[in-house]
Amino acid sequence: MATHIASELEANMKHFKWPDCVILTIMLLICVLIGLYFGIYRGYTNVQEYLMGGRKMKIFPITVSLVASYISAISILGIPTDIYLYGVHYLYSLGGFTLMIFIMNYIYLPVFYGLNLTSVYEYLERRFNKKVKLFGSLLYIINMILWSPMAIYVSALTFSQVTDVNVHVITPVLCTICAFYTSLGGVKAVVYTDVIQSTIMFAAMVLVAIIGTINVGGLYTVLARNLESGRIEGPNLDFNLSSKYTIWSLIVGGSINYLQIASINQNMLQRYLALPSISHAKKAVWFFVLEFCAFFLVCGYCGLLIYATFYKCNPLSTKLVKEKDQLLPLLAMQVLGDYPGLPGIFVAGILSASLSTPLTEKQSFIVMKLTVVIFGVICVGMVYIIEQLGAILQ
């Protein structure tokens, strides 16, 4: 039975048509055009303008950009995969995220704004010395060199799943586009590109969730099948440190993890500090919370939907997918494949999630732009290592 179902699914799995290619191409072209606009037509007069947008950015684009930076392709593909494999436990980490927001708003932001910083590492130099600043900067660079290829790889993995194009063909294209609009257009290009990318990301996930739910018979069917399998259950209150997920590790450990990502990460802080005042930044943080939680829950629901859709046929054991992180693309093509253009929106959403690149503070435009290009080349090379790892969220 499972073999027969798997054969049917495999025959209908790839539905990438010319309208999808058109949508994908348009999205990538928009990123390039935004970089050209801010880099040439609206050229920068100084480093401060390039890095911080003159501290005159608006709340809405900054908020959306924060979400785009925080929710990478790793989250979009990793969260549904984790929910499918282990149940809803990971969703309880939202409690740690909420705790982090209070710490961010009332402890970190007042300090960073009061010192009028451009980089979080400036604080390390003022508080300690230049050696500590250099050490912190080095750790951040290593972290981003390891993290960015993962985001790019899972995007390429999605594209490969629906088109059969090798991941090593698409990764240089993504890195080239990202390095181009970032190095040319600066923080404004990144922020306004993020607005477009976030819209595409959210639209793609919502489309999959709505149409997929209708296809399986409604929300009741999705919940019933997952309840029956034990994937929906309350938080694990166990104090056993060897347990994969407990409420304590998700709340305490999660808040610390979210804190270092959202509060003291240069990629995020640079966006907060691009706003004109601390009151604007605090408002942006709260809007960011609402948008992030909505996105997080939609990703989690898609994990439940994957199980409800393939509950009679495990895509991993039947080899419908080669990697665990291809489960969501499989669902998307199964759900959206009969609607020309919709698979293109989904793939564009995943690719969008990998096109938010951190900016690094340097002393001149030439050094900054060269740094972005070199970083892109390193990311392409690191993809060969990343693909040897397991499930990407782990």
Please tell me which residue, 114 or 16, carries the higher pLDDT value: 114
Highest mean pLDDT among 15-24, 185-194, 359-368: 15-24
Measured between alpha carbons, how far is 228 from 164 in angstroms, rounded to an integer?
A: 35
Amino acid of residue 349? G
Lowest-pLDDT range of 16-20, 128-132, 206-210, 223-227: 16-20
| Residue 41 DSSP class | I
Higher pLDDT, residue 199 or 373: 199
> Rounded CA gap, 154 and 350, in Å?
8
pLDDT for 228 equals 92
Residues 292-343: tens digit of each pLDDT? 889 999 999 999 999 999 988 888 888 777 778 788 888 888 888 777 777 7
16-65, pLDDT tens digit by residue? 677 777 877 787 777 667 666 665 665 544 445 545 545 667 788 788 77
Q: DSSP secondary-structure letter at 54?
A: G
Q: How many residues are present in the chain?
A: 394
Q: What percent of the chain has pLDDT over 70?
A: 72
Is the CB of residue 249 less than 8 Å from the CB of residue 239?
no
217: alpha, beta or left, given left = phi > 0 and alpha = psi -120 to 50?
left
Q: What is residue 44's DSSP assignment?
A: -
Is the per-residue pLDDT at 4 higher than 50? no
Domain boundaries, the chain: 2-386
- Report, as an integer, the average pLDDT of 142-169: 72
Provide mean pLDDT across the span 156-175.
71
| Interacting residues of 357 by C-beta distance below 8 A, sequence separation 6+ | 148, 178, 179, 182, 190, 372, 375, 376
Residue 9 is predicted with a pLDDT of 46
Rounded CA-CA distance 332/391 in Å is: 19
Mean pLDDT of 126-155: 79
Helical axes 94-103 vs 254-262, angle rounded to 10°: 50
- Tell me the mean pLDDT in the region 133-137: 84
Q: How far apart are CA 343 and CA 31, in angstroms?
A: 20
Question: What pLDDT, on the 0 to 100 scale, is given for residue 375?
Answer: 54
In the numeric block, which tokens belong to residue 131?
């050696």
Q: Choose which CATH entry (1.10.357.10, 3.40.1550.10, 1.20.1730.10, 1.10.10.60) describes domain 2-386.
A: 1.20.1730.10
Q: What is the mean pLDDT of the chain?
A: 75
Which of these, 298, 330, 30, 1, lies nearest to 189 by C-alpha position?
Answer: 30
Continuous segment of H or E residues that includes residue 361:
none
Give the separation between CA 294 and CA 354, rounded to whole angstroms.
19
- Asked if residues 355 and 192 have their Cβ atoms less than 8 Å apart, the reply is no
pLDDT at 125 over 70: yes
* Two structure tokens written together for 103: 């710490």
Average pLDDT over residues 272-290: 85
pTM, full prediction: 0.79
CA dihedral (45, 57, 265, 90) positive or negative: negative
- Cβ atoms of 265 and 104 within 8 Å: the answer is no
Among 91-95, 271-275, 287-291, 302-306, the range with the most confident prediction by mean pLDDT is 302-306
